[in-house]
Structure 1
């Protein structure tokens, strides 16, 4: 291990014995008491020395025996320490590609801030190189989103779309003006290759970009050029994704409103079918209106503000990366919305619907029943009877339903 105080966190002394790491409240931390000798020793934790050499340096500085190991353990426990040589074989392979790592250093620094154990940041960054994401849509949102994922180190980003690039598809960070008239798929894939810091890994054997159950497909991002398909996704279109257990995220812009979410984890969180059924429950005219919107002639002018499309692409890419890194973004079971000109982002919950065949509501019911049983047993020392458990669940479910219908 080569200990290194996380370089992304700025350091400042609040007083003679208290040091603060970081400026932003989300990740800042205060450590104390820290004496003058220990404060000087912190400068040596830069990743260039292993523990044996650090112990020797500590003795030269007059630090007591065991102080260096205790300090390293304390900093690691506080999530302030990284390992310049950690992360495993994947991280070692990434370090061997100096030019690639230089491109990704800002992303690595960010990951080091949000991870706690030494070496976790580079481990997650290296893991992205083995992932495959499919983006459906190469318009203002989809092309920028795909480029952002590739630029952040995702190993393979496939873009699926039809037709040819129009002037309305052009956006900084997405499709360039010189791509007008070219096939959307090809133009978007070139944009992805330009954004990627490294070539994607080779694949063995033929593959189809439309194969929802293809091995290694980590996530599908549905970012259609017609934002209605993201605002009100068709459950029939999503059925193959749900059936194959493929996680998928919706993102788009419709009539000046940007939407990100829900992130669907098939069988675990609400899907497009849940969203559609929930809206129909709340609005009796929803199904009739949706049929008219979908059957109308294609609109010549889509209201897709460039800055809003960029914001949606960035937020969706961030949620996608959080999921790919093993976290649970806030778009799971919810969708984020913002409209021009206010750009006031707010989240709307998407509930698992009991009538949807995706199974998310049944899983939620089992988890809630189990939590109720554990709570009842903790309070009374006895497991509830099956009849009591069913009655409690029914009362809770009806109360929840009334709250959001």
Structure 2
């Protein structure tokens, strides 16, 4: 092990005995009491020395026996310690590609803020290179989103769409102006290859029916059609539901950006749940959707360029959180932001009992199990307080992880 204090966090002394790591409330923490000699020793934790050499440096600085190991345990327990040689063979392979790692160093530093074990950040970053994501839709949102995922180190980002690039598809970070008239999907794939820090990803294979391969870790649905954004068709995602492929919705409709839901098949509310829930609250909903879908397609749909970039960025962040093994807040919810106020709001997508996806049944069983466990705990404590059943969307959605 080659310990180093996480370089992503700035360090400063709050007083003579207390060190603060980090500036922002989300990640800052303090450590103390700490004497001046120990504070000076922190500068040696830069990943260039192994444990034996660090212990020798500690003796040279007249630190007490065992002090170095105790300090390292405290730093590791606080999530402040990284390992410059850790992360396993995939991480070592990434270190041996300095031209690739240098492109990804800001992403590595950001991952170190949300991981606790030494070497875990580069392990997750290296794991991204083995993942395969498909983005359906190469408009202002989809093309930029695909480029962001590739730039973040996702190994294969496949883009699917039809038609040719139109002038209104052009956006910074997405489809370029000189591609107007070219095939939209081929252009988006060139954008992805240019954004990737590693070698150009190989195209993902198609199934005989042209549907998503079950090997995809995630499929992002970013349609250019604003009706498909506002009222996603459950039939479009049916092959994904059948094969158990997690999928995330994102897009812009009439000056409103949406990210979510992230659908974990059988665990969280899907497009079918969304449609049934809306129809229950508004009986005219199916009639309106039918009229919107049959209406004439407009060329200049309202899709503000800055709003499209905002949606692409947030959707990419949620996708990366899932690919890194976490459950983002879009699981079972849609995040929406509208012009001109630009305030994000989360709208839950409840699992519907009438939807064949089965999420409601599993959610009910999980809630009942949790309620029984809570009752047992309070019975042991001699409490008679009643426990209400929590809402399904308010809890983490199982143990889903993106598979390699």
Taking structure 2 as the reference length, the TM-score comes to 0.93
d(CA) in 1 for partners of 2:380 and 2:321? Answer: 40
Worse overlay, 43-52 or 194-203: 194-203
CA 1:361 to 1:300, structure 2 compared with 1: closer, same or farther past 3 Å? same
Deviations 1:302-330 (A, max 9, x none): 00000000000000000000000000100
| Residue 249 of structure 2: aligned partner | 250
Partner of 1:135: 135
Alignment of 1:192-211 (within 5 A): 192-200=192-200, 207-208=206-207, 211=210
- Segments of 5+ residues of structure 2 without an aligned counterpart are 393-404
Q: For 1:209 and 1:169, how far apart are their aligned partners in 2?
A: 30
Return the offset for 1:144. Answer: 0.1
2:90 match: 90
Deviation of the 1:224 alpha carbon? 0.6
Which digits, 9 at most, give the CA deviation of each residue in 1:354-392, with x for residues without a partner? 11000100110001110111122223359xxxxxxxxx9
CA contact (8 A) 1:135 1:146 kept: yes
Deviations 1:277-334 (A, max 9, x none): 0000111111110110011111122000000000000000000000000001000000
Report if the CA contact (8 A) 2:19-2:32 is conserved. Answer: yes
Name the CA shift for 1:148/1:203 in 2 (closer, same or farther; >3 Å). closer
User: How has the CA–CA distance of structure 1 residues 188 and 46 changed in structure 2, closer, same or farther, with 3 Å as cutoff?
Assistant: same
| Corresponding position of 1:333 | 332
SS at structure 1 position matched to 2:217: strand
Report the counterpart of residue 172 of structure 1 in structure 2: 172
* 1:350 and 2:349 are equivalent in the alignment: yes
> How many equivalent pairs are there?
388
Query: Is the contact made by 1:260 and 1:312 (CA closer than 8 Å) also made in structure 2?
Result: yes
Contact 2:206 2:212 in 1 (8 A): no
Structure 1 gap segments, 5+ residues each: 383-391, 401-405
Alpha-carbon contact 1:160-1:209 (below 8 Å) kept: no
Contact 1:131 1:216 in 2 (8 A): no
Q: Partners in 1 of 2:212 and 2:379 — Cα distance?
A: 47
* 1:294 matched residue in structure 2: 293
| 1:361 and 2:351 aligned | no
Aligned to 1:217, the other structure's residue is in SS state coil
Q: Which residue of 2 aligns with 1:274?
A: 273
Give 1:214 deviation, angstroms: 2.0
Structure 2: distance between partners of 1:174 and 1:341: 23
The aligned runs of 1:111-260 (5 Å cut-off) are 111-200=111-200, 207-208=206-207, 211-212=210-211, 214-260=213-259
Q: For 1:93, what is the secondary structure of its paired residue?
A: helix
On the 8 A contact 1:158/1:209 being kept in 2, the answer is no
State the distance in 2 between where 1:59 and 1:200 align.
50
Q: Distance in 2 between matches of 1:94 and 1:191?
A: 23
Matched, 1:9 2:9: yes
**Residue equivalent to 1:389:** none
| TM-aligned CA deviation for residue 26 of structure 1 | 0.2
Q: Is the 8 A contact 2:5 2:82 kept in 1?
A: yes
